[in-house]
Structure 1
Amino acid sequence: MRTRPLARLATLATALAITAMPAAAPAGAEPAIDGYQPYVAARNCTDSAYAKPGVVEFKDVLISRMGGSNGGIVACSGYEHMEGRALDWMNNASVPAEAARVQKVLDWMLATDADGNAHAMARRLGIAYVIWNERVINLYDSDKSWKTYTCDGSAGGCHRNHVHFAFSWAGANRQTSWFTADPRPAYWYPDHTGPVVPADHRTSAATVYNPATRTFDVFATGTDGALKHTWWDPATGFGAWASAGGGVTGRPSAVYNPVSGSFDVFATGTDGFLRHTWWDPATGFGAWATEPNRKVTGTPTAVYNPVSHSFDVFATGTDGSLNHTWWIPATGFGSWAAAGGGVTGTPSAVYNPVSATFDVFATGTDGFLRHTWWTPATGFGAWATEPNRKVTGAPSAVYNPVSSTFDVFAIGTDGSLNHTWWTPATGFGSWAAAGGGVTGAPSAVYNPVSATFDVFAIGTDGSQKHTWWTPATGFGSWATATGASVIGAPVAAYNPDKQSFDVFAVNSDRRLNHTWWLPATGFGSWATADTVRLGG
């Protein structure tokens, strides 16, 4: 990651200066504008060095709606990156289409709104300054104009290959009006397309089938930062909510424990540390435990290990490294191991019953799909990269028991659902694209009746969509559920009693919704849980 070098700033008065175009906006129709945020220099890399939630959400919105790629949020190399409150958005100033994309975002961010508020979206986001293509605008200065950015001549140092967005603490912590307004007006988004916010797994739930009760247990983070639990009974609908507190963020990872008949739940704390609790249907939530030795970002992925009766947990570190630890109910967390890898977002980890190992897939910071594996005896294996297609968001990998391979689904930078596979002997297969106009992260589930894969994703229009993948013939057609506008990433689980799929998603008012998919008849009706709001 390239970060802001020490530089001399001088006023630029040439025709090359970047200007902001006015934006159409309804006067007086939204919360009061935020003031300009003061500049607070970063202190050191040990003080809260994890990706702050406001920066993560802004990154997700930019990449999913506008393109480009993530150059990183955290790095011990200087300035706000040291505290996880700066984003490097990768675009090349010498590529006309990429330069135009950046200009569109800057025009939107720095526009004067209909109430006469200059730099309206930058203020609502809590942006302190922006650097792009050898120029900088300091919104904390009295002179809020673009100035020359003196640099070392390199593409990274001069910010010709990325935009550097520096956040104030208020913006980084989602305390400014862009983050607190609910809902947001459409023009508050850089593509002006409305309130679908594909923040990967921030507004998403985790669901697990309970074979004892033949119901689905659902875990999610509330807007208050508390871990929440409810259940879905196909006969009676949603159950009551219970809260574990916890101060967590993003989607939790929940796993059924077949020994105890309970659920082990892992989540990222607001302080960046991995946390664990459990849910027992008879007694409710257990106590929290925190792993205090390494900070992580995004959503962890936990997988049950049937050999050791423990849980293997994978998460992306603040340095972009894939990390592994484990949880044993009797003794707690184990030690960390790092695979490196330069990855971002949420990994997808799957148990391999043939080798008794774990195959892990993640999106690289360069946008390419990556794979490694974890063996309890020897640790991480080597990385492999699929270099032919860039993806965005988190991949969804599923074990194929027929071929003993892994089918992987991910959304491309063009909004198309894509499929590839991984064979331990030969590596990645070729890509196939389903189109679909989808965003965020897909949820793929193996269908043991048809030996195919059912895939669910959110459309760019906020609709819930479904397709399937058959190894012999490829993707099927798309189907769209009606009656709800959803955000975030859906999560689906196979229902062995009905041979159908139960699908959970958060709707646009941040309440949990449920529908189902039956291969013979398509989507069922929607049901909505009570007034608990989700998306911490």
Structure 2
Amino acid sequence: MAAAMMSLTITAAPPASAGGCLPGPPPTFVLCGRVSNHSSRDVVVDLDWRSGHNLTVAPGQNTSGHGDVDAFQVPVDACMGGKVDTLNFILLTWERVSFEVCGNQSGETSLFPFEGVYPAEQGAWVKFGTHQRVYIGWIGGPGQRVDICHKYPEECKPYPPYPPVPSPPPATDPGLPPDTQPSTPAVPVGWKPAFFNNQLSGTQEVAAVGTDGVMYHSYMTATGDWTGWLAFNSNVWFVGAPAVAFNPRANTEEIVALGIDGIVYHEWYTVAGGWSGWAAYDSSVRFKGSPAFTFNPLSGTQEVVAVGTDGVMYHSWMTATGDWSGWLAYNRNVTFAGSPSVAFNTVANTFEIVAVGTDGIMYHAWYTVAGGWSDWVAFNSNVRFTGTPAFTYNSLAGTQEVTAIGTDGIMYHAWFTTTDGWSGWVSLGSSFKFAGSPAMAINSLANTAEVVAVSTDGNMYHAWYTPSGGWSGWVPFDSSVKFAGSPAFTHNTRGNTEEIMATGTNGVMYHAWYTPSGGWSGWVPLSANVTLATR
């Protein structure tokens, strides 16, 4: 096997203010990098010192077997801007390494898995503190050293923070206990797993990305036992949350996810052929975040929706003949920061997308057979949002509902009825603050709705709606487990049961389930043979 040269480029972007500097002494932080060797062979770290920053490892240092190399340490202040360091390292093409980029002052820790098997590209903005963002990008291949900014120049522009958005007056809810939640998250809450029910067989399946970037799945058999985590084909590595759809017509399932190269991939299962390998959608568009995926039971078609690196929303669909379209952009007059959610209305045969714009406002667009796609339309803009909204359709009542977390940490919802259209945003109670993204399930047998989310203290809470009693207050689940991942939530019509999946702070997937006779179980771990990623 030939050796491959990979490189990681660190660019300090100046803050978006006059003169490039903030008032007063410039804030500082330190970027540090580590190369983790997951193979049994040596990794050679070769540093390219371009800008005169402190680099803690001398060129040519080796690590053998499983081990880490502390590769660089770069102090940056808010007025520097534009300084670049490049870490080059050599590895054999079948080896795997990962980068850990962290800030030691008021920053977040982000893990970006990279598997050096084929030329790949990946980049992301990492936020340190309130005003400072740094672009992390790498690109590599045999004999290559390319700055990713040359290929995606829009990614390397300064990424200014949005001006503070005034929060709406908090709604009062005397039925809830006093607010004892901290104002900021104890742990960042990130990706959710993909979780679905096979209504034909009564089995369930969950898929999630491991910290090694590989996609894993576990499923519940007809006897009620869960398998351990099983890896899909590991020739593609992923970031973000996967999405899954089940086709009851053909008894097939399909999973879509974002690769570390920014391309959306899919893999599908048939009873006769088992799982296919990963196949890429049209690679002419690169994406960020997590895709949304849905099946139209009336037409037998499927649709994938995702946000490009340019912030534009794109979609691709599979026709009844089995062919996928290329990526088509929706109206470009709105750009998006968050990942989309989709819902299909089986009564009206309509399809709708909701997502948070870069201005923090929630937007939606919808498709009708007679009129095609609408333009993007803003919901009431008196609330600004973060994360991915939960969006669902109630086939019994003929209504739709969106639930999302505001920038103030409060959970809001809005609903649609055929007689009144969309409501404004209504708080589900201001006494608890949430992080990450919520999940929602409709019990079409009982005409009830339920929302689950992780609070800022890492505990899971739920609230539910009944036609006779309205919305309950927030009720905690068993607090023995703290969560770092957003939940997935589903209702199984065969047994009239509900189930939640979420990743704990220890990287283990936990689930809890509800039965009409027994109520909610405690948290039970799935197999711990794989550590799962949450961001």
AA of the residue aligned to 2:384: K
C-alpha offsets along residues 153-212 of structure 1, whole Å, 9 cap, x if unaligned? xxxxxxxxxxxxxxxxxxxxxxxxxxxxxxxxxxxxx98864x2212x2xx211110123
Counterpart Cα distance in 2 of 1:427 and 1:96: 26
1:363 and 1:393 in contact (8 A); partners too: yes
**Pick aligned residue for 1:463 from 459, 462, 470:** 459
Q: Distance in 2 between matches of 1:212 and 1:523?
A: 24
- Could you tell me how far apart the structure 1 residues matched to 2:385 and 2:442 are? 22
Which residue does 1:448 correspond to in 2?
A: 444
Q: Displacement, 1:522? A: 4.7
Matched, 1:217 2:210: no
- SS of 1:82's equivalent? helix
Task: Select 2:25's aligned residue among 10, 17, 21.
Answer: 17
- 1:264–1:20: structure 2 CA closer, same or farther, 3 Å change rule? closer
Deviation at 1:73, TM superposition (A): 11
Q: How does 1:184-223 map to 2 (within 5 A)?
A: 194=186, 196-199=187-190, 201=191, 204-223=192-211
Q: Pick from 82, 86, 90: which aligns with 2:162?
A: 90
1:349 maps onto 2:342 in alignment: yes
Secondary structure, aligned partner of 1:303: strand
Match of 1:365 among 333, 358, 361: 358
Q: 1: distance between equivalents of 2:161 and 2:497? A: 40
Match runs of 1:483-522 below 5 Å: 483-518=480-515, 522=519
Q: 1:241 aligns with which of 229, 247, 251?
A: 229
Higher helix share: 1
Q: Which residue of 2 aligns with 1:152?
A: none
2:501 is aligned with what amino acid? F
Query: Is 1:415 aligned to 2:387, yes or no?
Result: no
Query: Structure 1 516/428 Cα, relative in aligned 2: closer, same or farther at 3 Å?
Result: same
* Compared CA separation, residues 84 and 499, structure 1 to 2 (3 A): farther
**Change in 2 beyond 3 A, CA 1:354/1:79:** same
CA distance in 2 between counterparts of 1:231 and 1:394 reads: 25
Query: Which digits, 9 at most, give the CA deviation of each residue in 1:349-397, with x for residues without a partner?
Result: 1112233221111111111111111346764212211212112111111
Equivalent pair of 2:121/2:260 in contact (CA under 8 Å)? no
Determine helix, strand or coil for the equivalent of 2:261.
Answer: coil
Q: 1:411 to 1:474 in 2, by over 3 A?
A: farther
Contact 1:503 1:516 in 2 (8 A): yes
Residue 487 of structure 1 aligns to a residue whose secondary structure is coil
Instruction: Give the letter aligned to residue 509 of structure 2.
Output: L
The 5 A counterparts of 1:300-379 are 300-328=291-319, 331-339=322-330, 340=332, 341-375=334-368, 379=372
Work out the CA distance in 2 between the residues paired with 1:362 and 1:50.
Answer: 26
The amino acid that maps onto 1:90 is Y
Q: Would you say the 8 A contact 1:440–1:489 is kept in 2?
A: yes
* Counterpart for residue 258 of structure 2: 268
Fraction of identical pairs, as percent: 28
Are the aligned partners of 2:122 and 2:261 in contact in 1 as well (CA < 8 Å)?
Answer: no
Q: Secondary structure at the match of 1:454?
A: strand
| Aligned partner letter, 2:374 | G
Conserved 8 A contact 2:482-2:504: yes
- Are residues 1:399 and 2:381 paired? no
TM-score when scaled to structure 1? 0.67
Residue pair 1:49, 1:83 contacting (<8 A) in 2 also: no
- Which amino acid counterpart does residue 222 of structure 1 have in structure 2? G
Question: Which has the larger displacement, 328-337 or 263-272?
Answer: 328-337
Moved more, 263-272 or 377-386: 377-386
For 1:134-157, what per-residue CA distance to the aligned partner results, in whole angstroms no more than 9, with x for missing partners?
xxxxxxxxxxxxxxxxxxxxxxxx
Q: Deviations over 1:56-96 (max 9, x none)?
A: xx45x97xxx8x999x999x99998623686432236xx99
Q: Which moved more, 1:484-493 or 1:524-533?
A: 524-533
Whether the 8 Å contact between 1:349 and 1:359 is mirrored in structure 2 is yes
Is the alpha carbon distance of 1:192 and 1:439 closer, same or farther for their aligned partners in structure 2, counting shifts above 3 Å?
Answer: closer
Counterpart of 1:286 in structure 2 is 276
How far the C-alpha of 1:419 sits from its partner, in A, is 0.9
The CA deviation at 1:439 is 1.2
Counterpart of 1:532 (choices 515, 530, 533) is: 530
Q: 1:229 to 1:282 in 2, by over 3 A?
A: farther
TM-score (norm: length of structure 2): 0.67
3-state DSSP of counterpart to 2:378: strand
**Separation in 1 of the partners of 2:274 and 2:296?**
23
Residue 216 of structure 2 corresponds to residue 228 of structure 1: yes
Displacement of 1:331: 4.2
Alpha-carbon displacement from aligned partner over 1:242-298 (angstroms, at most 9, x marks no partner): 212221211111111213322111111111111111134676421221121211211
Q: Map 1:23-34; keep pairs closer than 5 Å.
A: 34=72
RMSD over equivalenced CA pairs, Å: 4.2
CA contact (8 A) 2:183 2:433 kept: no
Q: Which moved more, 1:233-242 or 1:430-439?
A: 233-242
CA 1:312–1:36: 2 relative to 1, 3 Å: same
Q: Could you tell me which residue of structure 2 aligns to residue 429 of structure 1?
A: 423
Would you say the 8 A contact 2:120–2:261 is kept in 1? no
SS in 1 for 2:383: strand
Query: Contact 2:15/2:160 (CA < 8 Å) preserved in 1?
Result: no
Aligned residue runs from structure 1 range 377-396, under 5 A: 379-386=372-379, 387-396=381-390
**Paired letter, 1:397:** F
Does structure 1 retain, via aligned residues, the 8 Å contact 2:185–2:435?
Answer: no
Amino acid across the alignment from 1:336 = W
> Contact 2:347 / 2:395 at 8 angstroms: preserved in 1?
no
Indicate which of 435, 440, 456 corresponds to 1:439: 435
State how far apart, in whole Å, the 2-side matches of 1:533 and 1:84 are: 32
Distance 1:334 1:86 in 2: 34
Match of 1:40 in 2: 84
Judged with a 3 Å threshold, the aligned counterparts in structure 2 of structure 1 residues 7 and 49 are, in CA distance, closer, same or farther, namely farther
Please, which runs of 5 or more residues in structure 1 have no aligned partner?
23-30, 43-47, 98-189
Deviation at 1:445, TM superposition (A): 0.6
